[in-house]
């Protein structure tokens, strides 16, 4: 199906894009188009104006900023997956990006687009949650930073205001992380039925800090706080990992859909938290 008619803007500076977004009624940012275009074709989204940010120079780099790395709005998912800085300092994100969809989608879709889209089963949101990332949102009103923990509000709903562009993601260095998932078709390379991203700091020996995030399990990607608390202060023993896994779905409503019942998904969530922790701490 063709999308309804819309105005198409292709600004060449960020200021131009921000002005267009603040002045337009019912406008949408287009980065890679891998989620927006299908939704428009299905007429589930009907923007009056589409603002394509792909021709704005300077948004497509991954930078080392000393204490953190920064991923720009037009960095493609395949570049996130293969980038040496991301692989070293944000392994869970490299793994989540590398297991997203197929190569064509990874080459076209962007990491920031996936985060902004906030699909309940998307891969990369879980990784940025576990990594304690910060989202940088810009509008004509100024710039604000949003912690990943506050960014994912509900299904397809982020903390971005309609006039804001997610211009970059900041990921702090330090610690170690992994991403483990069961894709809908049995492996990686598809939306997860359930997946876990885990980050730990073991610089002092025992686990001094941990974050565990899940996706595909509930109405949004979320941090499993009780699960993470179960391994903090431990050396990552089998008992601590089992305790963490048992809290994987505490406080959330587990989804039931064509891919699995509540019980199956809860079990998967526990299994993937356990596997992620075992692989990370092995
Ligand atoms: C066949 C197929 C398979 C897929 N499989 C997976 C999968 O296995 N795992 C997975 O996680 N995802 C999967 N996806 C979804 C896809 O990876 C991402 O959702 C997509 O790449 C989003 O990035 P984009 O740049 O294409 O965003 P777009 O489609 O351009 O935009 C998506 C939404 O985010 C908004 N947006 C985009 N960029 C910004 C920005 N910088 N600031 C503010 N708002 C913004 C848009 O307005 C729109 O609402 C799949 C998609 C397809 C088509």
pLDDT digits (tens, 9 = 90+) for 26-37: 999 999 999 999
pLDDT (tens digit per residue) in 47-99: 999 999 999 999 999 999 999 999 999 999 999 999 999 999 999 999 999 99
What residue owns the CA closest to ligand 1's atom 19? 114
The two structure tokens encoding residue 282: 């092995």
pLDDT at residue 55, rounded to an integer: 98
Stated pTM of the model:
0.97
Alpha carbons 131 and 128: distance in angstroms, whole number: 5
Q: Judge contact between 214 and 248, C-beta under 8 A.
A: yes
Give the ligand 1 atom nearest the CA of 123: 11
Q: Is pLDDT above 80 for 220?
A: yes
Other CB atoms within 10 Å distance of the CB of residue 103: 11
* Ligand 1 geometric centre to CA of 163 (Å): 18
Given the structure tokens 């104006």, which residue do they identify? 49
- 89: CA distance to ligand 1 center in Å? 23
| All domains in the chain, ordered by first residue | 7-52 (3.30.43.10), 62-172 (3.30.465.10), 185-281 (3.30.390.50)
* Ligand 1 centroid distance, CA of 35 (Å): 4
Asked whether 159 lines ligand 1 (CB < 6 A), one says no
Angle at 24 between CA 22 and CA 27, to 5 degrees: 100
Percent of the chain clearing pLDDT 70 (strictly above): 99
Which residues are CB-contacts of 157 (< 8 A; sequence separation ≥ 6)? 118, 220
What pLDDT does residue 77 have? Answer: 98
């Amino acid at each position: 199906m063709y999308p309804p008619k819309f105005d198409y803007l292709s600004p060449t500076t960020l200021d131009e894009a921000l002005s267009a977004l603040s002045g337009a009624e019912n406008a949408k940012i287009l980065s890679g188009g891998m989620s927006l275009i299908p939704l428009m074709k299905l007429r589930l989204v009907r923007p009056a104006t589409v603002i394509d940010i792909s021709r704005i120079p300077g948004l497509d780099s991954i930078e080392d900023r000393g204490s953190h790395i920064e991923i720009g709005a037009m960095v493609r998912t395949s570049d996130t997956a293969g980038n040496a800085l991301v692989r070293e300092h944000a392994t869970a994100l490299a793994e989540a990006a590398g297991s997203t969809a197929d190569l064509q989608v990874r080459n076209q879709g962007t990491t920031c687009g996936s985060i902004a889209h906030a699909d309940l089963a998307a891969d990369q949101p879980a990784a940025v949650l576990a990594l304690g990332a910060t989202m940088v949102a810009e509008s004509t009103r100024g710039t604000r930073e949003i912690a990943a923990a506050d960014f994912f509000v509900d299904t397809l709903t982020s903390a971005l205001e309609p006039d804001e562009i997610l211009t970059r993601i900041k990921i702090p260095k330090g610690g170690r992380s992994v991403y483990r998932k069961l894709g809908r078709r049995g492996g990686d390379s598809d939306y997860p039925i359930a997946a876990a991203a885990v980050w730990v700091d073991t610089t002092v020996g025992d686990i001094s800090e941990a974050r565990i995030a899940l996706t595909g399990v509930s109405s949004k990607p979320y941090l499993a706080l009780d699960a993470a608390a179960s391994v903090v202060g431990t050396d990552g023993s089998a008992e601590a990992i089992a305790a963490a896994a048992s809290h994987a779905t505490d406080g959330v409503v587990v989804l039931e859909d064509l891919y699995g019942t509540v019980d199956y998904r809860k079990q998967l969530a526990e299994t993937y938290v356990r596997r992620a922790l075992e692989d990370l701490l092995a």
